[in-house]
A and B are shown apart, each in its own frame.
Chain A
Amino acid sequence: MSNTSSSSSSFVKTSVKQPYIWAIAALVLLLIINLIKDPSYLGISVNAVTGDLSGNLIDILRASAPIMMIAVGMTLVIATRGIDLSVGSVMAVSGAVSMEFMHDAGDGSLGSALMAIALALGISAFLGLINGLLVSIVGLQPFITTLIMMLAGRGLAKVITSGQNTSASNEFFRWIANGTVLGFPVVFVIGAVIVAIVALLVRRSALGLMIESIGINPKAARMAGIRPVGLLIFVYILSAVLAGVAGIFSTASVMTVEVAKTGFSSEMDAILAVVIGGTSLAGGKFSLTGSVIGALLIATLDKTIVFLAIPSSATPAFKAIVIVAICLLQSQRVRALFSQRRARTSTPRKEAVSA
């Protein structure tokens, strides 16, 4: 690795690629820990009648779908030097809206499920629009805007359901979370398709580059003729809609919205997935693949903690420690990078730190 770092461009390349190599390593490590505990952990069985796959890996894929959604949205927001702390509350609002609607409709038909989904995503998009307008046009700091939305959104979810945990029954809605397509969980398939669409949208057009340019240098981006207002509104709406999808995913599996719990501390999961995936919290270059791997890692971590019989209430503490560790790593890497640039001709001694 130290040989390739002679030119600065390849150094940047390795430092961009490195994070998800570490994430994959951590993922493998977690799976190995599980495998030691139970040698048949990775086994996947196929149901002969329905062709459904089942096993711990499939569970992880299923659990990773909502995290994947919010992580992808968060990646784009963070790339613009922003942050979206409201994703967890938007999940709760989306879940509350869909459950309340189906509860009132009460017929369990496909039509009411689709209507509930449309309504939930519409309200999520509206909350995202408010975030986007406040950040882009009014110019408020993203964290305070979305912090207000985080608490107001949680309040909104409680008002929608009058503070009750609302349940509903609807076969189609339930199928989203518990059904299978070609043996794979529907949530994962939908999640993967949405990620693919977003990835195509930002990487096959100039959108991704423009988002990165806002994050790297807002002033230069504006002078280059990139209008930040529309882009910022777009990323905040996208983030909120994806959070809405995540809310549908996580409420559909139990067909209940727990207004205080649904999506609680999910913003931490999303931020964690993004930084694990190698996107810097300082904005700029982003990696959707990295965030997806980050989401898979978090889902695996959650499952492992349950599997090892560690109280699941402790998970936020673990995640906080991981996020602090990554922040430390990132800042040291930044320092190493700077000292390297200053002494570009001299030997790359600092490589040992980041390796």
Chain B
Amino acid sequence: MTSVIERPSAPQSPHTPSPVSRLKPNLETLPTLAAIVIFVGMIIYGEIAYGRILQFSTLSNLFINNAYLIILAVGLTFVILTGGVDLSVGAIIAISSLVGVMLANAGWNPFVVIVLMILIGSAFGAASGILIQYFNVQPFIATLAMMFLARGLASMLSTTPERLADESPIRTLSTEWKVIDGPKINDLVTTPNVIIAAVVVIIAFYILHKTRFGRTVYAIGGSEQSATLMGLPVVRTKLAIYIISGTLAGLAAVVYTSKLGIAQNITGVGWELDAIAAVIIGGTLLTGGAGFVLGSVIGALVLGLMNVLITRDGSIPPEATTIITGAILLVFVLLQRLVVSRKRKT
């Protein structure tokens, strides 16, 4: 008897959220699924149209060339999940790699240099976080200011390309290890950089999906006010995510510098857009609260593959790449609007 009476009363209180929560898995995973479909579609299209895409060397190069972008995208996933944004990552790479190369060439211990490069990123991230959290500066203004500060400081150091000495130990991070020795040059190769990126992704995945900190990140993105009222450590978490984003930008600088061996004050112009695009394509809502770190990895690979296809095609001028990236980002942001507005209606 009692169960009959209780039953109608129980769903009455959560009446509004229940249909939403039932729809949530579908609508939330939809953009990520779309990204996977696009990625697979691009591979198939590339294989048919240009050939030599679905083979070890191309795929391992895809990871090797985009290791830095994957790391950046992971960092930005944290930030965008809380509904913020970090525009300073590209400029952080510029200053961090420039400082790193100059110090390494001056004969500093490579480990100290690498740690310092990462810490430079952390420092800029912390500065953004403090501005945003304690002084109520909008995230994009605070990180835009950091972007110009970092870029300006980098320009003060040097405006010409700085070459990392060929024998520098930092370069060992991009040594190519053959995993599978294929015919001719078709080998499955990997570099310590790719492994660093993979470790970053695994740790980020664990933190976001398995820890209290990760759940707080999602809660802040859902509603910062509710998160505060629930007693979650909003201040600490928001500070931490900007530090994470800055630190990973510093790490990306290490990865990028070791691979290319050149640092310049204009390195990384526009990479913030690439990283944001990777995160958005991967299905993280720009307004925060929903998304997956693995989706961001797919997003970064989609962008990397797009560059490969554009190079293979040859008829598209390389200058147009940013227009195409912008257009893809726009399409995905519009797709998100559609998904979110549909979710609200139901």
A interface residue numbers (CB < 8 A to B): 83, 85, 134, 138-141, 143-144, 147-149, 151-152, 154-156, 158-159, 162-163, 265, 268, 271, 281-282, 311, 313-321, 323-324, 327-328, 331-332, 334
B54 at the interface (CB under 8 A from A): no
B165 at the interface (CB under 8 A from A): no
B34 at the interface (CB under 8 A from A): no
B317: which A residues are within 8 A, CB to CB?
Answer: 158-159, 162-163
Report if A265-B330 is in contact (Cβ < 8 Å); known contacts: A155-B322, A324-B131.
no
Tell me if B322 and A151 are in contact (CB < 8 A).
yes
Tell me if B273 and A147 are in contact (CB < 8 A).
yes
B146 at the interface (CB under 8 A from A): yes
CA distance A328 to B127 in the complex (A): 12
Tell me if A138 and B141 are in contact (CB < 8 A).
no
Report if A320-B149 is in contact (Cβ < 8 Å); known contacts: A151-B270, A334-B136.
yes
Report if A156-B323 is in contact (Cβ < 8 Å); known contacts: A324-B131, A331-B137.
yes
CA distance A185 to B20 in the complex (A): 62
B131: which A residues are within 8 A, CB to CB?
Answer: 324, 327-328
CA distance A162 to B320 in the complex (A): 10
A332: which B residues are within 8 A, CB to CB?
Answer: 135
In the complex, what's the smallest C-beta–C-beta distance from A150 to chain B, in angstroms? 8
Which of the candidate stretches B3-11, B151-159, B182-190, B249-257 sits at the interface with the other chain? B151-159
> Do most interface residues of chain B lie in helix, strand or loop, or is the interface mixed?
helix
CA distance A141 to B276 in the complex (A): 14
B140 at the interface (CB under 8 A from A): yes
Interface size, B (range): 35 or more
In the complex, what's the smallest C-beta–C-beta distance from A74 to chain B, in angstroms? 12
Instruction: List 9 additional contacts besides A144-B276, A331-B136; criterion CB under 8 Å.
Output: A138-B334, A140-B337, A152-B323, A155-B320, A281-B137, A282-B138, A313-B152, A320-B152, A331-B137
- Among the listed A138, A141, A318, which residue makes an inter-chain contact with B286, where contact means beta carbons less than 8 Å apart? A141
CA distance A265 to B273 in the complex (A): 15
- Among the listed B136, B140, B156, which residue makes an inter-chain contact with A317, where contact means beta carbons less than 8 Å apart? B156
Return the chain B residue nearest A331 by Cβ: B135
B333: which A residues are within 8 A, CB to CB?
Answer: 140, 144
Return the chain A residue nearest B270 by Cβ: A151
A156: which B residues are within 8 A, CB to CB?
Answer: 323
B327: which A residues are within 8 A, CB to CB?
Answer: 152
Report if A317-B148 is in contact (Cβ < 8 Å); known contacts: A151-B273, A159-B323.
yes
In the complex, what's the smallest C-beta–C-beta distance from B86 to chain A, in angstroms? 12
Return the chain A residue nearest B341 by Cβ: A139
